[in-house]
Amino acid sequence: MKPRIILLCLGLLLTARVTQAQWVVTDPSNLAQGIINSTKQIVEAARNGSTLLQSFQETVKIYEQGV
């Protein structure tokens, strides 16, 4: 039984590989496009917020006229 375990361990040691890390891959054009898209989304959200605020102000005016 011991020789089998020793052979098994020896076989595992002989088949072990050295691991190496991979280089980090970056895509600057994709990063720039993501920033542009985020900026456009922020501008659109600001416009939507402004429109919502104007609608709310009109609603307040209508409510105050009825009171």
17-44, pLDDT tens digit by residue? Answer: 777 778 888 899 999 999 999 999 999 9
Q: How many domains does the chain have?
A: 1
Side-chain-side CA neighbours of 62 within 13 Å: the count stands at 6
Rg of the chain over all Cα atoms, to the nearest angstrom? 33
Residue 1 pLDDT greater than 80, yes or no: no
Is residue 20 in a domain? no
Residue 50: phi and psi, rounded to 5, are: -65, -45
CA 39/CA 35 separation, integer angstroms: 6
Q: Collapse the DSSP code of 11 into the 3-class scheme (helix H, G, I; strand E, B; otherwise coil) and give the result.
A: helix
In a domain, residue 41? The reply is yes
- Lowest pLDDT segment from 5-9, 15-19, 55-59: 15-19
Task: Say if 22 falls within a structural domain.
Answer: no
In-domain check, residue 27: no
Domain interval for residue 39: 32-67
| Domain assignment present for 60 | yes
* pTM of full prediction above 0.95: no
